[in-house]
Amino acid sequence: MSERPRVTTESADAARVVRTEAMLQRLEQIGTLLFTEERRAALRARGAGVYLDEVAREIRLRQDDELTWVALVSFTAAYPTSELFDWFRRALELAPEAAALRIFLEAGSRTATGFADLDARVEVVTGAVVVDVDFPARHSHNTGVQRVVRQTVSRWDAEQEIVPVAWVHGSMSFRRLSAIEHERVVDWSSSARRDWEHGDPEQTEFVVPYRSIVLIPSVPDYNQCGPLAALAEYSGNEVVILGHDAIPVVSADTVPPEETVRFVNFLAVVKHAKRVATVSAAAALEFDGFVRALPAQGLTGPAVVPVPLPVELPDGLRSDDRGSTGVPLVLCVGSQEPRKNHLAVLHAAEVLWREGLRFRVRFIGGANPWAHQVFDPRVRELVAAGRPVEVLRGADDDVLVASYREALFLAFPSLHEGYGLPVAEALSIGLPVLTSRYGSTAQIAEHGGCVLIDPESDEEITDGMRRLLTSPELIDSLRHEAAERPERTWDDYARELWNALIGRSTLSKQEEEPRAL
């Protein structure tokens, strides 16, 4: 019994030492931007308390939003919202010099990051390109947006200098990826072949960008939008965005309500961004429409430029061995949600089956409970009636490749798309496509290979499918048109996107010496 208090005291002392060292490390990251090496050495020798007091006084004196943001994040190991940052800089401005330390300590209390983060270490990266890959790093999902992010970031990771990051969700801060997470982003095929591992890093390394470019390649989680909006507005970093679509607000009736709320919060980030590169000209119109409304707030908003996605053969589809000699397959690729218009495809299929046509329908893609609550019962009805309908969820690339090879045509009568990647993939192998006559899919179809229809018209969808199922001459003609389309590769796209988002930056790298007053 007598030994227990001593052991506990020793443990507490050891933890205190670790936390003090971590605090000094974080203060050094700030001090490098404020003080000479000689002064930093003197402050280190006097301890964390004195060092923090000097940092607080210096930040109060300078009244520089960039430095204030970096100092706040480095001290608290948390990215502030705009509300917290506004309070912090105003409180520092009004406080007497001797009270600046108290403002820092109160900010630490307000972030409520918890004791687990007191031993956190941070890394201020200057003049870097920081890429937020939180979702693809943490999840194995690999359709649509995730495919675009992985195809692009994997090439940048090999050819450019980037800092891929995920979020520390308790502190809402960027961190370095673990080896498992990094592979999940840049080499998804290898990662997918192994048993699932979360891959959280053993040691959290917080990343604080300074005079850097922060690239957001997809819509972030709801809770991340506030800190990102403050980063874009105050930190001095350039935020650039890969814009896929504005479907959650333009077609809000086709998505779950929480998706609309998340996207609306994301727009608070967009309005303070420098550049948005969209995946199609149609998506550019949507983002540009939002930007045109920003002068009402006294804002100019980001520059918006379309960088269309490539039309390239999916992995594994380099062979000419394509086509089925059995019952024709009508393929539908994409998440099973209302805007994909799959119920209209099922309706058209039933009409044609009743006319006596023989064919199969296969759906490949994911679905959440909100999306498939109407779709699944209709599929069950058709299957119970003996109709040849398949729904494949969680299918890997091998299944997707085999289905593209087997299909007679792709049915993609979507009501609203940011791009329509399956349309481009199908055309790249010479597979005819039935798709919508407006928006991004119509833009993809401009070079041929498609039958265009009004996705709101059951009659046009049915007629288009009928023509494709009954006219070998039409199929051959569309295959020829698709084969003549100009090919644009993922390598091309990654290079063009980099030039649009990163190459246009006017941000200069931080000098090695601290910034003078």
Task: Give the model confidence (pLDDT) of 381-406 as tens digits.
Answer: 999 999 999 999 878 778 888 999 99
Judging by beta carbons within 10 Å of its beta carbon (0-12, 13-18, 19+), is residue 355 exposed, middle or buried? Answer: exposed
pLDDT value at residue 74: 93
pLDDT in tens, 291-344: 999 999 999 999 999 999 987 765 555 545 555 668 999 999 998 889 999 999
298, 285: one domain: yes
Confidence check: pLDDT of 447 > 80: yes
- Look at residue 374 and tell me if it is in a domain: yes
pLDDT value at residue 504: 74
Domain boundary (119, 135, 166) is at: 119
As a whole number of angstroms, the distance between CA 240 and CA 130 comes to 10
Instruction: Report the number of secondary-structure helices (H) and strands (E) in the chain.
Output: 22, 15
- Token pair 């591992």 is at which residue? 197
User: Do β-strands 329-333 and 409-412 pair in parallel, antiparallel, or remain unpaired?
Assistant: parallel
Domain with 293 in it: what CATH number? Answer: 3.40.50
- Residue 196 vs residue 206, higher pLDDT: 206
Q: Tell me which of 49-63, 78-92, 395-409, 437-451 is least confident.
A: 395-409
Residues 6+ apart with CB under 8 A from 164: 131, 133, 137, 153, 157, 177, 182, 185, 186
pLDDT value at residue 509: 44
362, 478: one domain: yes
List the end-to-end C-alpha distance of the chain, in Å, as a whole number: 59
113, 139: one domain: no
As a whole number of angstroms, the distance between CA 103 and CA 110 comes to 10
Domain count, the chain: 3
Structure tokens at 496: 């063009």
29, 128: one domain: no
Domain limits for position 351: 329-487
Helix (H) or strand (E) holding 212: none
Q: What is the CA radius of gyration of the chain?
A: 27
Confidence check: pLDDT of 2 > 90: no
Confidence check: pLDDT of 283 > 60: yes
DSSP code at position 303: E
274, 418: one domain: no
- Look at residue 205 and tell me if it is in a domain: yes
- Look at residue 194 and tell me if it is in a domain: yes
β-bridge partners, 276: 241, 304
What three-state secondary structure class fits 13?
A: helix
Amino acid identity of residue 394, one-letter, is: G
As a whole number of angstroms, the distance between CA 81 and CA 84 comes to 5
- Let me know how long the chain is: 517
203, 278: one domain: yes
462, 345: one domain: yes
Q: What percent of the chain has pLDDT over 70?
A: 92
As a whole number of angstroms, the distance between CA 468 and CA 415 comes to 20
Q: How open is the CA angle 269-284-210, to the nearest 5 degrees?
A: 35
